[in-house]
Amino acid sequence: MFASFFRSRDWALWAWLGGCLIIGGTWYQVQVDVAINKWFGEFYDMVQNALGQPGAVDQAEFFATLLSFFKIASIYVIVAVMLGFFTKHWVFRWRTAMNDYYTEHWQKLHKVEGASQRVQEDTKRFAAIMESLGTALLDSIMTLAAFLPILWELSKNIKELPWIGPVDHALVYVAVIFALFGTVVLAAVGIKLPGLEFNNQVVEAAYRKELVFSEDHPERLTPPTVAEFFGRVRKNYFRLFFHYMYFDVAKFSYL
């Protein structure tokens, strides 16, 4: 899936230049987040000052501060919209590269169970996952990196952690360690989920294929056949529901 896009000469410009553009746009968006965070601090300091000392902040200064937020927020909206638009196009090019690769090797792939569904639906699903989960992961990593300098400054007054003892710049270490800890724990807890999802796709493809055959040969769709194929689907889904249950326990507990 990756080689068909990132190692292809035909798609090299889209893959690498487009990827760099997305990374750069995401980083810029995170920097705007930092600017908004800074603005909130200054704004609420001003509000606290105005409430504590009546007349300390005039109306012109108040509206000027709101106008500065409007400028920052406008940039954020424009960048977010344009980045989302480009990311959708970029991911679809990735799907196109995968589609071209698999159809070129169709003579070898058509014997695989549910090959048509694998090419059409799985590439579509992979593209959707990369658009949502991939960009969210990139944004999370960059957000953590962008806010670490802020945490570094805020940590100057925190010299000690409970149960651990003296630690310089404690907030930075807590943020990084807790993020890594959560990632590792959830990955370990959910390690069976990808395989179960794959098994679900296999039994779903077999059931769908039998239904397609039955469109031209209705006599194939007998109650025992339906019970057999859909029984496999039900068994896999019930097992998947159980594994998602304890994964959700770990996920929501961590959050």
CA distances from 144 to 136, 141, 153, 185, 253 (A): 12, 5, 15, 19, 21
pLDDT band at 113 (very low <50, low <70, confident <90, very high): low
Q: Is 114 left (phi over 0), alpha (psi -120 to 50) or beta?
A: left
Asked if 79 and 32 count as a contact pair (C-beta separation under 8 A), the reply is yes
According to the model, what pLDDT value does residue 28 have? Answer: 92
Mean pLDDT of 144-166: 83
Residues above pLDDT 90, as percent of the chain: 26
- Give the pLDDT confidence of 239-251 residue by residue, as tens digits: 999 999 999 999 9
Residue 114 has pLDDT above 70, yes or no: no
Residues 6+ apart with CB under 8 A from 15: 5, 6, 8, 93, 94, 97
Residues above pLDDT 70, as percent of the chain: 96
- Give the pLDDT confidence of 81-96 residue by residue, as tens digits: 999 999 999 999 988 8
Vertex 49, ends 47 and 50: CA angle to 5°? 65
Mean pLDDT of 166-192: 88
Mean pLDDT of 37-61: 87
Q: What is the mean pLDDT of the chain?
A: 85
Lowest mean pLDDT among 91-100, 108-117, 202-211: 108-117
Residue 118 has pLDDT above 90, yes or no: no
